[in-house]
Chains A and B, each alone.
Chain A
Amino acid sequence: MAILAVEGISKSFGGLQVLQSASLEVAEGTITGLVGPNGSGKTTLLNTIYGLIKPDEGTVIFRGQKISGLAPYRIYDAGLAFSFQLPRLFFQLTVLDNLLLAARNQVGTSFSGALFRRRRWRRQEAELARKALQILELLGLVPLALHATGELSGGQRKLVEIGRALMSDPVMILLDEPAAGVNPVLGRKIYQKLRALRDQGLTFLIIEHKLEMLLDFADRIYMMDAGQVVLSGTPKEVIENPVFYATYVGETKNVTFPG
């Protein structure tokens, strides 16, 4: 049963057709990879799913509910989370605050709640802080919890970006290159954690250039080229398909092949 169904999404900017009737399905409880050469439309597709870009055509169905056309904060309400390729953190806020901002159903985020339900939200803050610290523990960021994210290195920022997505208790997460910019050992650790979360029932759609990660961790892969989804299957099936290599001719610089 597909938890997310993307049907015939098209999008053009000016005269440039970036997505051409792109369709894919993500099964519940899987890690699904999205690969393709640079400029094939992967990031645009992910942004479109999350309502950051309005598609010209096509629909996105998440858990039976049409989410295309909704604003990102409504899509968040539906149980989907999103992590940017280039971290868009709140750079003057601490790592902890960055995570806490992502938490769901906070009493104290409304004007009246903040003023009139102080005891409720203060208790909730303590609970959410412990939850955030668990996530930071996993990402190895506890020592930096009270540092402003502007002080962090690129790799650490990427981890905070992923941490924020985890913080919202989503049903499914869209990740744009989660291991980009972090060292390979940590990158694998991130994927191991994602796999553990998948085993608990979470679903992932991940853009990834590092094919060895997908071979090891993904259940299924879609490949995009020139705005279309051209291949799908298990990681092994896709990589062994001749179309795969044909598409990547001249693109080897951007892809690390396994082995």
Chain B
Amino acid sequence: MDLTVYLLDTLVFMGIFALLAMSLNVEYGFTGLGNFGKVAFFMAGAYTYAITAALGWPFYLCLVFAALVAGALGALISLPALRLREDYLAIVTLTFGEILRIIIKAEQGLAGGVWGITIPSAFAGLDLTPRMTAWANVVLVWVIVVGVFVFLQLLINTPYGRVLRGIREDDVAVQVLGKSFVLYKAQALMVGSAIAGVAGGLFAQYLRFIDPYMFLPLVTFLVWVMLILGGPANHWGALIGAVIVEFFNRGSRFLKDYLVLPFDPNNVQFIIFGLLIILLLLYRPYGLFREKPLRTGAEAEVLKWPSSP
């Protein structure tokens, strides 16, 4: 196997998962919403991309549509979920992922059911070598990662981001201070889901074949590992968490494919991830990167204040 293509492949996956980790960061890291069905929105984006691409839409429109459909699903799930307690929200989102997979599996006519669906490459018309296609994918994915990163930094370091953080800490107190938390939570779920939808679209476009078995709850778990390892409420944390976890995740597949080991590296990997999460939650719940204080310009006023130390 071409080592360069392998590395580029890993970079693409790191980017896709960085998007998922950042999307969970909006929901969980900043707003405190425990979305345990991240894979559902990822899957919705992937299948939307697959179906619209099959209609002959250009890839950017497919991506936008993937974001819209996943975002709309996020809004839909927010309707019953947001008035619920945290534990119920967790159960509802988790089971929603299972149900969406069941629907795709059962409805053969929609997108191939269990047999999966093939997707045209975004770069099909350009007549590229495999290595150039891999490069093109890396650029496409990471341009979007950088775009989303900048967008989220702009969104979070605002009074809006302050309200989200307030909701994470105490949603009743936010209500008392004049902000309806339902609206904010719904928006956070929509934004998070839309980003996950884009990630799903990129995933489908890159692999050019998807089936329901690619969207197991395992994906959600990986995203949580990334965020908790990297550091919730810190976009750098989400990004670097995704890079680290995906390095090991792709690496374990590589080991499995090319080496004969007395154990299955994939099993060992998940045992280690599971133990890692438990240890992190016990001893370092803020992960590698701590949350940064909000920067809206207000903090600068404190330093100008006469009596400030």
Residues of A within 8 A of B (CB): 50, 52, 71-73, 76-77, 82, 84, 88-94, 96-97, 100-102, 104, 106-111, 113-115, 118, 121-122, 125-126, 128-130, 132-133, 137, 142-143, 145-146, 164, 168
Contact = CB atoms under 8 A, between A and B. Distances in A.
A109 B305 contact: no
A76 B177 contact: yes
Contacts of A94: 293-294, 299
Nearest to A112: B160
A118 B177 CA distance: 22
Interface string B283-309: 000000001011011111110010111
The B interface, classified by DSSP as helix, strand, loop or mixed, is helix
B107 interface: no
B162 interface: yes
Contacts of B301: 126, 129-130, 133
A168 B174 CA distance: 12
Nearest to A174: B176
Contacts of A52: 172, 176
A146 B302 contact: yes
B294 A76 contact: no
Interface in B208-249: none
A52 B175 CA distance: 9
Given A90-B166, A108-B296, A121 B176 contact: no
B169 interface: yes
Interface stretch (B65-73, B122-130, B151-159): B151-159
B178 A73 contact: yes
The A interface, classified by DSSP as helix, strand, loop or mixed, is helix
Contacts of B168: 92
B52 interface: no
Contacts of A126: 297-298, 300-301
Given A111-B187, A122-B297, A142-B307, 5 more contacts: A90-B165, A96-B298, A108-B160, A109-B159, A125-B297
B163 A133 contact: no
B61 interface: no
Given A111-B187, A114-B161, A133-B301, A143 B309 contact: yes
B176 A100 contact: no
Give the bracket for the number of chain B residues in contact with chain A: 35 or more
18 contacts: A72-B175, A73-B178, A76-B176, A91-B169, A101-B166, A101-B177, A109-B159, A109-B162, A110-B160, A113-B160, A114-B158, A118-B158, A126-B297, A126-B300, A126-B301, A129-B297, A129-B300, A132-B298
Contacts of A114: 155, 158-161
B298 A125 contact: yes
Contacts of A132: 298
Given A76-B178, A102-B178, A168-B177, A128 B298 contact: yes
Contacts of B307: 137, 142
A118 B155 CA distance: 10
A115 B157 CA distance: 10
Contacts of A130: 301, 305
B279 interface: no
Nearest to B167: A90
B173 interface: yes
A111 B177 contact: no
A108 B295 CA distance: 13
Q: Which 8 A-B pairs have the closest CB atoms?
A: A108-B159, A114-B160, A76-B178, A129-B301, A114-B158, A129-B298, A90-B169, A88-B173
